[in-house]
Amino acid sequence: MAELTKNPNVIKWVEEMQALTKPDEVVWIDGSEEQLDALRKTSMDNGEIIALNQEKLPGCYYHQTAVNDVARVEDRTFICCKNKEDAGPTNNWCDPQEMYDKLTPMFDGVMKGRTMYVIPYSMGPIGSDLAKVGVELTDSIYVVLNMDIMTRIGADAFKNLGDVSNDFVRGLHSKADIDAEKRYIVHFPEDNTIWSINSGYGGNVLLGKKCFALRIASFQGKNEGWMAEHMLILGIQKPDGEIKYVTAAFPSACGKTNLAMLIPPEGYTSKGYKVWTVGDDIAWLKQGKDGRLYAINPENGFFGVAPGTNAKSNFNALESTRKNTIFTNVALNNDDMTVWWEGLDKNPPENATEWKGAKVNGKEYRDAGNNLAHPNSRFTAPARNCPCISTEFDNPEGVPISAMIFGGRRAKTAPLVYQAFDWNHGVFVGSIMASETTAAAAGAVGQVRRDPMAMLPFCGYNMGDYWAHWIEMGKVLGDKAPKIFNVNWFRTNEEGKFIWPGFGDNMRVLDWIIERAEDNADAVETAIGFEPKPEDINIDGLEASGITLDVVKDLLNVDKNLWKEDAANVKEFYAKFGDRLPQIMKDQLAALEERLQ
**203 forms part of the interface with ligand OXD (CB under 6 A):** yes
How is 259-297 classified by DSSP, letter by letter? HHT----HHHHTTT-EEEEEESS-EEEEE-TTSSEEEE-
Applying CB under 6 A, what is the total number of residues that bind ligand OXD? 6
- Indicate the residue among 148 and 281 with the shorter CB distance to ligand OXD: 281
Backbone φ and ψ of 426, nearest 5°: -65, -40
Task: Give me the residues paired with residue 135 across strands.
Answer: 120, 170
d(CA 499, CA 245): 27
Q: Does 386 qualify as catalytic in the annotation? A: no
Partner in contact with 170, chosen from ligand OXD, Mn ion, none, beta carbon below 5 to 8 Å by kind: none
d(CA 382, CA 41): 20
The amino acid at residue 102 is: K
**566 forms part of the interface with Mn ion (CB under 5 A):** no
In 3D space, the residue among 183, 168, 136, 149 whose CA is nearest the CA of residue 49 turns out to be: 149
- Indicate the residue among 29 and 71 with the shorter CB distance to ligand OXD: 71
Interaction pattern, residues 61-100, with ligand OXD; x per rule: CB under 6 A:
-----------x----------------------------
d(CA 1, CA 371): 44
The amino acid at residue 123 is: M
**437 forms part of the interface with ligand OXD (CB under 6 A):** no
- Indicate the residue among 276 and 303 with the shorter CB distance to ligand OXD: 303
**451 forms part of the interface with ligand OXD (CB under 6 A):** no
**Smallest separation (angstroms) from ligand OXD to the CB of 97:** 30
Task: Give the pairing type, strands 483-487 and 399-407.
Answer: parallel
In 3D space, the residue among 396, 391, 394 whose CA is nearest the CA of residue 129 turns out to be: 396
Partner in contact with 86, chosen from ligand OXD, Mn ion, none, beta carbon below 5 to 8 Å by kind: none
Partner in contact with 440, chosen from Mn ion, ligand OXD, none, beta carbon below 5 to 8 Å by kind: ligand OXD
**Smallest separation (angstroms) from Mn ion to the CB of 309:** 15
- Indicate the residue among 125 and 304 with the shorter CB distance to Mn ion: 304
- Indicate the residue among 281 and 511 with the shorter CB distance to ligand OXD: 281
Q: Which of 281, 342, 354, 392 binds ligand OXD (CB under 6 A)?
A: 281
Shortest-Cβ-distance residue relative to ligand OXD:
252
Backbone φ and ψ of 572, nearest 5°: -60, -45
Region binding Mn ion by CB under 5 A among candidate stretches 41-49, 266-274, 276-284, 557-565:
276-284
d(CA 174, CA 199): 8
Q: Which of 80, 94, 211, 254 is catalytic?
A: 254
**Smallest separation (angstroms) from Mn ion to the CB of 300:** 15
Q: Which of 281, 505, 511, 566 binds Mn ion (CB under 5 A)?
A: 281
**299 forms part of the interface with Mn ion (CB under 5 A):** no
Partner in contact with 203, chosen from Mn ion, ligand OXD, none, beta carbon below 5 to 8 Å by kind: ligand OXD
**Smallest separation (angstroms) from ligand OXD to the CB of 445:** 13
**317 forms part of the interface with ligand OXD (CB under 6 A):** no
Give the relative orientation of helices 583-596 and 423-431 as an angle to the nearest 10 degrees. Answer: 90
Shortest-Cβ-distance residue relative to Mn ion:
281
CB burial class (10 A; 0-12, 13-18, 19+) of residue 446? Answer: exposed
Task: Give the pairing type, strands 301-305 and 50-51.
Answer: unpaired
**440 forms part of the interface with ligand OXD (CB under 6 A):** yes
- Indicate the residue among 220 and 252 with the shorter CB distance to ligand OXD: 252
Q: Which of 128, 146, 252, 277 binds ligand OXD (CB under 6 A)?
A: 252
**Smallest separation (angstroms) from ligand OXD to the CB of 440:** 4
CB burial class (10 A; 0-12, 13-18, 19+) of residue 371? Answer: middle
The amino acid at residue 7 is: N
Decide if 321 contacts 381 (C-beta within 8 A): yes
How is 323-352 classified by DSSP, letter by letter? SS-EEES-EEETTTTEEE-TTS-S---SSE
d(CA 245, CA 248): 10
- Indicate the residue among 330 and 517 with the shorter CB distance to ligand OXD: 330
Q: Where along the sequence are the contacts to ligand OXD (CB under 6 A)? A: 72, 203, 252, 281, 303, 440
| Residues annotated as part of the active site | 254
Q: Where along the sequence are the contacts to Mn ion (CB under 5 A)? A: 281
